[in-house]
Amino acid sequence: MEEVSAADQLESIKSWQSTIKKLENAFAQMTQKGTNITLVKKRLNASHIGLAVLENAWSQKPHLYSHEDITEAGKILSGLVSSVEHSYAKSKAGSPQQTLLERRLKALNLAVQAIDGLSAK
pLDDT tens for 45-102 read 999 999 999 999 999 999 999 999 999 999 999 999 999 999 999 999 999 999 999 9
Domain that holds residue 35: 6-119
In a domain, 18, yes or no: yes
**CATH number of domain containing 70:** 1.20.1260
Answer for the pair 88, 102: CB distance below 8 angstroms, yes or no.
yes
Please give the C-alpha separations between residue 74 and each of 25, 36, 44, 51, in angstroms, as whole numbers.
22, 22, 13, 11
Residues 6+ apart with CB under 8 A from 121: none
In a domain, 1, yes or no: no
pTM (predicted TM-score)? 0.93
What pLDDT, on the 0 to 100 scale, is given for residue 92?
Answer: 95
In a domain, 67, yes or no: yes
In a domain, 51, yes or no: yes
In a domain, 15, yes or no: yes
Question: CA 118, CA 71: separation in Å to the nearest integer?
Answer: 9
What pLDDT, on the 0 to 100 scale, is given for residue 118?
Answer: 81
Quick one: which of 19, 106, 10 has its CA closest to 58? 10
Provide the number of structural domains found in the chain: 1
